[in-house]
Chains A and B, each alone.
Chain A
Amino acid sequence: MAEAGAMLEVRDLHVGYGAIRALHGVSISVQKGQIVTLIGCNGAGKSTTLRTISGLLKPTAGSITFEGRSIVGMPPHQIVRLGLAQSPEGRGVFANMTVDENLALGAAIRSDRDGIAADRERCLDLFPRLRERLRQNAGTMSGGEQQMLAMARALMARPKLLLLDEPSLGLAPQLVQTIFSIIREINARGTTILLVEQNATMALEVASYAYVLETGRIAMADSARVLERSDAVRKAYLGVG
């Protein structure tokens, strides 16, 4: 699958927190237009991988190329400028700021006012609940609404590749359905998505390609349709069999 011309190409990534090594050679590749998912248990290194890609962590070894450019060692604000936006884990909305201000911050790197206003409208169409709550402080919203805001905020940067870190974390099952249908919708409108999830069932359903991460290594990588039916995955992550 690691063919030339991939949008995002991660090769042999090693990352550690001090003496503890979290990733031991992770390789991922994301093609333009796809939804690729990274599934695995707690502590497998999913979030670490995302944070390294977005520049919040520095790898000890390995390469990351985005649209043919190496982005290893680039500060996060420059990586966002290249078109790679992240919706951080645990939502990370700015709690004491209004929904509107949160959205405006998503466009922090842009200065095309008309484009921003248009994207704001587009995001509010995608997440109608946010429109009702524009003037409300983000911290006073429900978990699901905060998740929607985090995703909308990331979209405000008009990314080519959207990194989603556990969008279903702590949400009611019904709301998880909604979030995933919106993820599909975002992808259908032309944004490539790299999705990190613990909820393997849902993730495999929307993704076209999937990686299974175990203790800092890629254990399996295949098309999502194949992995959905694989016995090992079904046993370990889908709770069946």
Chain B
Amino acid sequence: MDPFRRRTLELSPSRLVAAARSVLPFIAVLGVALGVHALLYRWQIDDGGVFFYSKILMDIGISIILAVSLTMVNGFTGQFSIGHAGFMAVGAYTGGVVTYYGAMKLFDPANFAAGYLSRSLPMDGPLFGAADGLFLAACLAAGLLAAGLGYLVGLPSLRLRGDYLAIVTLGFGEIVRVIIERSRNVLPDAEAAAKVPAAALPLHVGGASGFTGLQPFTSPFWVILLAGLTVVFAWRLKYSSLGRAMISIREDEIASQSMGVHVTRLKVMAFVVAAFFAGVAGCLYAHQTGIQLTPKDLAFQKSFDIVIMVVLGGMGSISGAVLAAAFVTALPEWLREPTSVWMYGLIALCVVAVFADRRLRAALWVVGLTAGAELLLTVARRAGIELSQYRMIIYALMLILVMIIRPQGLLGLNEVWEIGPFRRLRRTPVAPARGAAAPAGPGGSP
């Protein structure tokens, strides 16, 4: 088959192939989520310590949803939003209201129990409880309400760009926080809830002291499933014509308009979709074990954490956002009990030696950074400094370093498989020109 014909087939597969291609990743995600959930669930009977890892895993998963969704706004369309935690807060409280008051109104408390899918720790309960369904509904409601607000915030973004848009999104996050802080006390039981009209229930979410009494429905299953869905969605979006049009807005808005791209619609669409996933992440966050949901924790600081992940990973890179989300989330845990880093340095050195484009330069950076980190650790240990308290300073230093070494972030717009030797492998010769390839070309370059 001649290359051009093959390329055409690749671009326009038959309906059946296209459908299978669309569904496959989702089935894979479901399988992985079930598998990991089952493994962790089993291990926790043997060793209580594993729960620590499943907790970190869930933290990372939630961060991945947040970072990947923000990538759609900041990375694809190039709008600088720093209010992502606002959408997360909206989702968290919406989800909380649905599970907390929904359980009171809809179910008999005696029968209401979390099923296998919504439990991180082995305990008594049915395989599939009513709670599973309610929790899923809560996540959906959280996403939809956040998406609605995303539409409202996306609208001014049509007129604003750069710093001005950043200020609007920042303001949005703060407005959400202040409104939640002004809410009334949580109603302790069904009896108290019965005295309040159903429509007023969302007003009782605990104010500044937090939404107490939420049940820990968030399990590795839900987190992996939803994080996986987010990544697959973002990935398919990025490589669709829609995603390409979004990225073209970031590259050059005027040229993009001249190509007939509906710039305003795509900008708002990016906001809405990103807000939806942030809302879902908020719902997962709210129902985590050991989390007290307070508006303070979902304020500017949180937004900034997410922005750091996106910038570190590379604006517009999904795999970069995933890696950075895992790194930034795991870092505080590591700082709490820092271990020596030379081992990681060695691994990084091996990776760099094989994959980097400019090996010597990259290797020197790795050696320098490892030595620097080791020095910092030693000094901190000698001086008795608790490093985890200086988390923000370390983030800031990391950002500055990244801006100096790699201003485009870890991966830039690329994905992991598009750099280094992967790219060299993928760079198959392009269909040759019919007739002579005309190496000099007419005129040559200036």
Contacts and interface: CB of A to CB of B under 8 A. Distances in A.
B8 A117 contact: yes
Interface string A96-134: 110001001110110001100100010011001101101
Nearest to A91: B255
A113 B12 contact: yes
Interface in B3-18: 4, 7-8, 11-12
B446 A172 contact: yes
A80 B248 contact: no
Contacts of B412: 96
A108 B259 CA distance: 7
B121 interface: no
A74 B262 CA distance: 12
Contacts of B12: 113-114, 117
Contacts of A167: none
A113 B7 CA distance: 11
B256 interface: yes
Contacts of A95: 251-252
Contacts of B260: 76-77, 80-81, 85, 108-109, 157
B245 interface: yes
A92 interface: yes
Given A77-B261, A80-B258, A157-B260, A174 B247 contact: no
B11 A88 contact: no
Nearest to B413: A96
Contacts of B247: 94, 96-97
Contacts of B446: 142-144, 171-172, 174-175
Nearest to A174: B443
Contacts of A134: 430
A145 interface: yes
A209 B257 CA distance: 28
B254 interface: yes
A105 B248 contact: yes
Interface string A62-90: 00000000000001110011000111100
A94 B255 CA distance: 8
B48 interface: no
A188 interface: no
Nearest to A124: B433
Contacts of B438: 128-129
Contacts of A154: 258-259
Given A106-B259, A108-B245, A92 B254 contact: yes
B163 to A, nearest CB: 21
Contacts of B442: 128, 178, 181
Nearest to A182: B442
Interface in B238-287: 241, 244-245, 247-248, 251-252, 254-264
B270 to A, nearest CB: 16
A134 B433 CA distance: 12
B445 interface: yes
A38 interface: no
A92 B255 contact: yes
A134 B7 CA distance: 13
Given A56-B254, A124-B433, A117 B7 contact: yes
Nearest to A178: B443
Contacts of A55: 257
B444 A174 contact: yes
A108 B261 contact: yes
A157 B259 contact: yes
B257 A77 contact: yes
Contact of A94 (B248, B262, B263, B264): B248
Contacts of B437: 128, 131-132
Contacts of A77: 257, 260-263
Contact of B11 (A80, A87, A113, A124): A113
B59 to A, nearest CB: 32
A37 interface: no
A105 B441 contact: no
Contacts of A85: 258-260
Contacts of A175: 443-446
B382 interface: no
Contacts of A81: 260
B424 to A, nearest CB: 11
A44 B439 CA distance: 40
A191 interface: no
A142 B262 contact: no
A225 interface: no
B195 interface: no
A181 to B, nearest CB: 8
Contacts of B445: 142, 144-145, 175
B427 interface: yes
B244 A101 contact: yes
Among B248, B441, B443, B444, chain A packs the most CB atoms within 10 A around the CB of B443
Nearest to B251: A94
A54 interface: yes
B245 A105 contact: yes
A135 B427 contact: yes
B443 A177 contact: yes
A156 to B, nearest CB: 8
A153 interface: yes
Interface of B: 4, 7-8, 11-12, 241, 244-245, 247-248, 251-252, 254-264, 412-413, 427, 430-431, 433-434, 437-439, 441-446
Interface of A: 54-56, 75-77, 80-81, 85-88, 92-97, 101, 104-106, 108-109, 113-114, 117, 121, 124-125, 128-129, 131-132, 134-135, 142-145, 150, 153-154, 157, 171-172, 174-175, 177-178, 181
7 contacts: A92-B254, A93-B252, A95-B251, A96-B412, A106-B259, A108-B261, A125-B434
